[in-house]
């Protein structure tokens, strides 16, 4: 009788992290959230998925950020440039422009932790 099978984490499962930024610990909703999943091979990002929450009426993929991470080794400058790409074309409303900086910082944090360079 087989009672369990342990499989090693592969691909995105081995390198993922979720960051939730909120105004107070008691609030259930995020001002900004980032889910980062990286597929890393020989120290280089082979594939990336970055999703943002709290910035639109639905979760938002940061495709430009993903493109800028793929094919790179994770260093602080490349991660910061990729995070900035997420908000390059953003058009904030009057009362939520502060989220542009939060998005960038949350992406940097999530990618650093997911990539093991935190």
Please tell me the distance from the alpha carbon of residue 118 to that of residue 51, in angstroms, as a whole number. 19
Q: Which domains does the chain have, with CATH numbers?
A: 11-21+29-114 (3.30.390.50)
Return the structure tokens found at 24: 């107070």
Residue 11 DSSP code: G
pTM: 0.87
Please tell me the distance from the alpha carbon of residue 74 to that of residue 95, in angstroms, as a whole number. 33
Predicted confidence (pLDDT) per residue in 19-66, tens digit? 999 887 666 788 999 999 999 999 999 999 999 998 888 999 999 999
Angle (CA) 88-92-95 rounded to 5° is 145
Question: What is the per-residue pLDDT for 9?
Answer: 67
């Amino acid at each position: 009788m087989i009672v369990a099978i342990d499989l090693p984490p592969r691909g995105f499962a081995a390198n993922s992290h979720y960051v939730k930024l909120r105004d107070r610990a008691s609030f259930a909703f995020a001002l900004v959230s980032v889910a980062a999943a990286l597929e890393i091979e020989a120290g280089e990002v082979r594939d990336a998925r970055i999703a943002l929450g709290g910035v639109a009426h639905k979760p938002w993929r940061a495709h430009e950020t993903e493109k800028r991470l793929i094919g790179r080794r994770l260093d602080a400058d490349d991660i910061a440039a990729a995070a900035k790409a997420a908000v390059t074309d953003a058009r904030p409303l009057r009362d939520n422009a502060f989220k542009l900086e939060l998005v960038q910082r949350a992406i940097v944090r999530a990618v650093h932790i997911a990539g093991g360079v935190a």
